[in-house]
Amino acid sequence: MTTDTRKNLLTSASELKLSIVLAVIATVIVCATAIWSVFFSKPTKSNPPIALHNQSVSITEKPKSLQKPSTQPSHIQSTTLSHNNKTTASNNHKVLIGKGDFFVQVGAFKEVVRAKATYEKMRKTYKRAQIMPKSGYYAIWVGPVRSKREAETLQKQILKRYNIKGFITTEK
- Strand 77-80 versus strand 137-145 pairing type: unpaired
- Whether 46 shows a pLDDT value over 50: the answer reads no
Same domain, 124 and 106: yes
Alpha helix locations (H) across the chain? 3-40, 64-67, 112-125, 148-162
Same domain, 149 and 70: yes
pLDDT at 157: 93
pTM: 0.49
The Cα–Cα gap between 167 and 107 comes to 9
Which of 112, 104, 107 has the alpha carbon at shortest distance from 170? 104
**Span 115-151, pLDDT tens digits:** 999 999 999 988 889 998 988 999 999 999 999 999 9
The confidence band for 172, taking pLDDT boundaries of 50, 70 and 90, is low
Same domain, 120 and 67: yes
pLDDT at 113: 92
DSSP β-bridge partners for residue 141: 105, 130
Residue type, 12: S
Number of helices (H), then strands (E), belonging to the chain: the values are 4, 8
Which of 136, 125, 142, 126 has the alpha carbon at shortest distance from 63? 142
Same domain, 76 and 123: yes
SS3 145: strand
Which CATH number fits the domain that encloses residue 123?
Answer: 3.30.70.1070
Considering its fold, how many domains does the chain have in total?
Answer: 2
Same domain, 38 and 59: no
| Domain hosting residue 121, numbered range | 50-170
H/E run at residue 77: strand 77-80
pLDDT at 68: 43
**Span 66-84, pLDDT tens digits:** 444 444 444 444 444 333 3
**Span 88-105, pLDDT tens digits:** 333 456 777 888 899 999
Euclidean distance between the first and the last CA atom of the chain, given in angstroms as a whole number = 78
Which of 119, 73, 115, 120 has the alpha carbon at shortest distance from 97? 73
pLDDT at 14: 81
